[in-house]
Amino acid sequence: MYAILDIETTGGKYNEEGITEIAVYRFDGHKVVDQFISLINPEIPIQPFVIGLTGINNEMLRNAPKFYEVAKRIVEITEGSILVAHNAKFDYRILRTEFSRLGFEFERKSLCTVELSQKLIPGQSSYSLGKLVRALGIPLSDRHRASGDAQATVKLFKMLLAKDLDKEILKSSVRNAPKLRMETKLIEMLEELPSITGIYYLHNADGDIIYIGKSKNIKKRVNQHFTSENRKSLEIQKEVASVSYEATGNELNALLKENEEVKRNKPKYNKVLKGSIFSHALYQSKDKDGYIHLRIGKIDKRKKYINAFANLQQAKIALENIVREHRLCEKYTSLHNGNGNCFNYGIKECNGACSGEESASEYNERVNQVLEKYSYEKQNMLVIDRGRDLDEKSALLVEEGQFKGIGYFNLNYQLNNMEIIKSIITPMKSDRDAQQIIQNYLKKNNRLKIIHLNTYD
């Protein structure tokens, strides 16, 4: 749990400033679950330059509550949370100073979105809140007012959580959370999970991630882990101490994040995904007469393939569909190994390449249609899909046929600048598995919006 806040002050000498306004949003990593916003009477004058900056003047604060009147509410809304702020050292120091004047020791763990942004979104021209969120397409209203700045920080922090592929922020949060009783932990953890598409993380008592999974229904899938009696599930049930999750908005993002984060974090129970998730592939070759042959074989990282599959059966079904849809000859695929004409020629579903009735150029024209369908080589494009919220979309970036990463943007924001696009994208590895996940998803979901980027600067 996080308490994302912003504080406006009177200005003045170090450690003598007073709070004029505070906004705190209690954030569970996905949505705001509580909030507190208030003007504060600092009982000292506001510096003139601060009045010009914030628009808050002494008259506005005359009847506002004094800090001691709201102190209890601030303690309650930040209890058990990590404080998050843009330049957190400043906000945390101001709070501690105010509480110290009341004789109360205020202590919380804290995270700074300036430092996190510099690490996770490098290369920005400025890391001031206003310039940074503008560059990232995050809406910001009421600049230099506590509520407006805190709301923008919530959106920025949500982006940083998505970009943190090593899950350091998440693991820190889990370590800071109160521990559940062992006898009730599984039920309590399940109750807090949503039935949404995304990634889930199973943690041990030290906060370390022991398993990463993806699902179109997180609650249902984790319930299967907790109720199954296979050996791995029983071991997980003994060791798991908490569950966290990340909404992805759509299945493609979930598949890609699972592929990336399992290989990056190497959880102890994700043994399968440490290697490739595909075992077989579709290859092409050309015979002496010029006909293109398609064949299924085991994945060979040294060879270029057309498409990959999780197993041999899946590969055969896909090839059978290709042959039927494009009227290809079984003899020129790995589906027919005998001599003579193929079976499909006899039932008039083959145009006669195997009998010499169809020329290589005519036959290869249809084969090339298959190759184009299964490839986005050398393309520059954005694949637009559902976002995590109603006012959001996701974007997947491909440059020169290479997968670059995924990100999210507000519906009101126009993606028309490559530098801005790259800022919102979380960089991810373009390995064979990622490329294949994208190809398979695009084939199954051919109505997705695709923006070709050749016209962008």
Is residue 358 within 8 Å of 286, Cβ to Cβ?
no
Q: 168-272 has which fold? A: GIY-YIG endonuclease (3.40.1440)
| pLDDT score of 272 | 57
Distances (CA, A) of 448 to 348, 383, 394, 443, 445: 35, 7, 11, 10, 6
pLDDT score for 220: 92
Residue with tokens 């310039």: 131
CATH class given for the domain over 2-163: alpha beta
Neighbouring CB atoms inside 10 A of 289's CB total: 9
Could you tell me the sign of the dihedral formed by the alpha carbons of 421, 426, 427, 429, in that order?
A: negative
3-state helix, strand, coil split of the chain in percent (to 5) is 40, 20, 40
Which of these, 179, 167, 173, 246, lies nearest to 213 by C-alpha position? 246
Residues 6+ positions from 192 with CB-CB distance below 8 Å: 243
Tokens representing residue 352 in the block: 């006669």
* Nearest to 146, CA basis, from 24, 23, 245: 23
Looking at residue 253, its pLDDT comes to 95
Per-residue pLDDT of the chain (457 residues), as tens digits, is 899 999 999 988 887 889 999 999 999 888 899 999 999 999 899 998 888 888 889 889 989 999 999 999 999 999 988 999 998 888 998 898 999 999 888 888 888 999 999 889 888 889 999 899 888 888 888 788 889 999 999 999 999 998 888 888 877 777 666 555 444 678 778 888 999 999 999 999 888 999 999 999 999 999 889 888 888 888 998 899 889 999 999 999 999 999 999 988 999 998 754 455 677 888 888 888 899 988 888 877 777 777 777 788 888 888 888 888 888 888 888 777 767 788 888 788 888 888 888 898 999 988 888 887 766 666 788 889 999 988 899 999 988 778 899 999 887 776 677 777 888 898 998 887 888 888 788 877 778 888 877 644 4
Q: Is the dihedral of CA 180, 186, 190, 191 positive or negative?
A: negative
Q: How many other CB atoms are there within 10 angstroms of residue 187's CB atom? A: 10
Confidence (pLDDT) at 183: 46
Question: In angstroms, how far is the first alpha carbon of the chain from the final one?
Answer: 41
Cβ neighbourhood burial of 426 (10 Å; 0-12, 13-18, 19+) = buried
* Predicted pLDDT of residue 454: 66
**pTM strictly above 0.85:** no
